[in-house]
Amino acid sequence: MNERLLVVSDVHLCSHDGPPQQVWRSLIDFLQQHMDSVSTLLLDGDCFDFLPLPNRPHHLDLAGAAQFVNREWECLSRDRWGATFFQTLSQWVGKGGQLVLIPGNHDLELYHPQVEEVLHARLQLWDATQKARCRIHRDDAPWQTRIGEWQVSALHGDAVDPWNRVDVTGLQKSLREGKPVHPLPVGSRLVLDHINQFKRAMDPKTGNRRFPFVDHLKPEIPGLLLLLFYLDPILTLTHVSKGLVFHGVQMAYQEIVAAFMRELRGILQGNVLLLSDTPPRDEEEGDGAEVLRLICQTLVHNLPPEVRSAPNRLIRPLEDWLRSPGNELECREGTLGWPNEGKNALLRAAIRALGGGASFFDPSIPGPLDTSIIERHPPRAGSRSILIAGHTHGARFLDRGTNGYYVNTGTWTGLIRLPGENDNLNQWIQALTSQTVETMTRFTFAEITAAGVCLKTWM
The CATH number of whichever domain residue 173 belongs to comes to: 3.60.21
The pLDDT confidence band at residue 38, using thresholds 50, 70 and 90, is confident
Greatest CA span in the chain, whole angstroms? 69
- Is the residue at 281 inside a domain? yes
338 shares its domain with 408: no
Strand partners, 101: 43, 136
Mean pLDDT rounded to a whole number for the chain: 84
Domain boundary among 323, 353, 383: 353
Angstrom CA distances, 66 to 117, 424, 445, stand at: 9, 48, 29
pLDDT, residue 19, reads 82
Question: In this structure, is the dihedral angle defined by the CA atoms of residues 170, 176, 182 and 184, taken in order, positive or negative?
Answer: positive
238 shares its domain with 321: yes
CB atoms within 10 A of CB 381: 5
228 shares its domain with 166: no
Q: How far is 228 from 212, CA to CA, in rounded Å? A: 12
262 shares its domain with 321: yes
313 shares its domain with 385: no
Domain range for 225: 220-353
152 shares its domain with 235: no
The pLDDT confidence band at residue 207, using thresholds 50, 70 and 90, is confident
Task: Kindly report whether the peptide bond that precedes residue 222 is cis, defined as omega within 30 degrees of 0.
Answer: yes
Domain boundary among 304, 321, 353: 353
Give this prediction's pTM: 0.87
The pLDDT confidence band at residue 222, using thresholds 50, 70 and 90, is confident
Return the minimum-mean-pLDDT range out of 130-139, 294-303, 320-329: 320-329
* 441 CB-side CA count, 13 A: 17
Sort residue 442 into left (φ over 0), alpha (ψ -120 to 50) or beta.
beta
300 shares its domain with 390: no
69 shares its domain with 101: yes
Looking at the structure of the chain, the number of domains it has is 2
- Is the residue at 209 inside a domain? no
Of 435, 455, 451, 449, the closest CA to residue 388 belongs to 455
40 shares its domain with 167: yes
91 shares its domain with 177: yes
281 shares its domain with 341: yes
- In the chain, the N- to C-terminal Cα span, in Å, equals 29
- Is the residue at 199 inside a domain? no
- Is the residue at 336 inside a domain? yes
143 shares its domain with 258: no
- Is the residue at 308 inside a domain? yes
Strand partners, 99: 41, 134
Return the minimum-mean-pLDDT range out of 39-53, 165-179, 195-209: 195-209
Task: Kindly report whether the peptide bond that precedes residue 363 is cis, defined as omega within 30 degrees of 0.
Answer: no
